[in-house]
């Protein structure tokens, strides 16, 4: 949930979403350092992994909200509810851009093989 247009505490969901350029930058950095340690299946699932981890984080925020905010530090009563909504909005954005994200990963990975 790092490649986003705003902070996870943003209450206006129209301001929150996936930043594809930031995703590309993170992917380039990640693959340049960890790419050789990953197998092809792991690399092929990088974009899906971003979606899965974002969904997990959203569920954790929602669970904490429903359990009375006992795990995550909050600044106001519905803070974790706001956070879960931003994470779920990001999951929607990732789903909309999954093909582009996969193409980005493939391109960066292929380029890293050529440069190696």
Residues 32-69: pLDDT tens digits?
888 889 999 999 999 999 999 999 999 999 999 999 99
User: Containing domain of residue 91, as a range?
Assistant: 13-115
Residue 75's CB: how many other CB atoms inside 10 A?
A: 7
Q: CA-CA distance, 22 to 10, in Å (whole number)?
A: 18
pLDDT tens string 70-108: 999 999 999 999 999 999 999 999 999 999 999 999 999
* pLDDT given for residue 33 in this prediction: 87
Radius of gyration in angstroms for the set of CA atoms belonging to the chain, rounded to a whole number: 16
Structural domains in the chain (count): 1
57 in a domain, yes or no?
Answer: yes
DSSP letter for 14, please. G
For residue 1, being part of any structural domain is answered with no
């Amino acid at each position: 949930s790092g490649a986003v247009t705003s902070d996870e505490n943003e209450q206006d969901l129209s301001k929150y979403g996936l930043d594809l350029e930031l995703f590309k930058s993170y992917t380039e950095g990640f693959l340049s350092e960890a790419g050789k340690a990953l197998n092809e299946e792991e690399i092929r699932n990088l974009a899906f992994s971003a979606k899965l981890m974002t969904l997990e984080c959203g569920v954790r925020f929602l669970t904490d909200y429903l359990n009375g905010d006992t795990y995550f530090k909050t600044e106001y009563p519905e803070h974790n509810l706001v956070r879960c909504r931003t994470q779920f909005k990001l999951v929607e954005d990732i789903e909309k851009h999954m093909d582009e994200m996969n193409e980005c990963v493939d391109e960066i990975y292929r380029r890293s093989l050529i440069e190696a």
